[in-house]
Amino acid sequence: MKIISYNVNGIRAAVRKGFIEWLEAASPDVVCIQETKARPEQLDLNIFEEAGYPYHYWYSAEKKGYSGVAILSKTEPDRVVYGTGIGYMDEEGRNIRADFDDVSVMSMYLPSGTNIERLDRKFSYMDDFRDYIDALKQEVPNLIISGDYNICHRAIDIHDPVRNAKVSGFLPEERAWLDDFIKSGFVDSFRFFNEEPHQYSWWSYRANARNNNKGWRIDYNLVADSLKDRLSRAVMMPEARHSDHCPVLVELD
């Protein structure tokens, strides 16, 4: 089972930049998309079906052109769950889950903390999301949470840990939350295979950051401990350039 998570920073813009052609070539079984910034009725859904993904599920924010997540799949899930049931999360379209046989895949987009108000909302989301997942694991133990966490876990995951020490996304409190979340029963699938530095999934559009590889690793496929023995590969896909993020891939036997 090959799963790719990709913050596309606008699915319509990504399609114009060759997303569909890339998707056909990459050919994952499941694609978790974040920041769709579009409602299904604003899209030509046939292009996804023609690319080999007849099953596609979209969960949009109430605010037009904002946030939104989706799951594309080659096979039909047993069940699709939209949102978390927590109102302020769901109005921003940040969670969708598809259950397949003995594996469940969630596309998740955690808020950024661009200002004090948003940072407070981010911390609230983090706390409530943790409680939600702790309860969900009792029902759905083989869970994969793929998406944009908007947090770098360790110094190895950011190009300049010293200068960014007080920037949201690398705050000590955020990093501690992610560390504790992973230790609560997940494997950071990329770091399971790769401990090399300078491996990033997001680059600012400013100062030629991507070409200079001055990035952040904020996109993850966190895999339940119960699936650890089935992990076969996990990689970044920086050659895909439809967004300021790149796709991140995990494969399970």
First to last CA, the chain: 6
Catalytic residue annotation: 148
Report the distance separating Cα 155 and Cα 150, nearest Å: 14
Give the relative orientation of helices 116-139 and 172-183 as an angle to the nearest 10 degrees: 0
Q: HEC states along the chain? A: CEEEEEECCCHHHHHHCCHHHHHHHHCCCEEEEECCCCCHHHCCCHHHHHCCCCEEEEECCCCCCCCCEEEEECCCCCEEEECCCCHHHHCCCCEEEEEECCEEEEEEECCCCCCHHHHHHHHHHHHHHHHHHHHHHHHCCCEEEEEECCCCCCHHHECCCCCCCCCCCCCHHHHHHHHHHHHCCEEEHHHHHCCCCCCCCEECCHHHCCCCCCEECCEEEEEEHHHHHHEEEEEECCCCCCCCECCEEEEEC
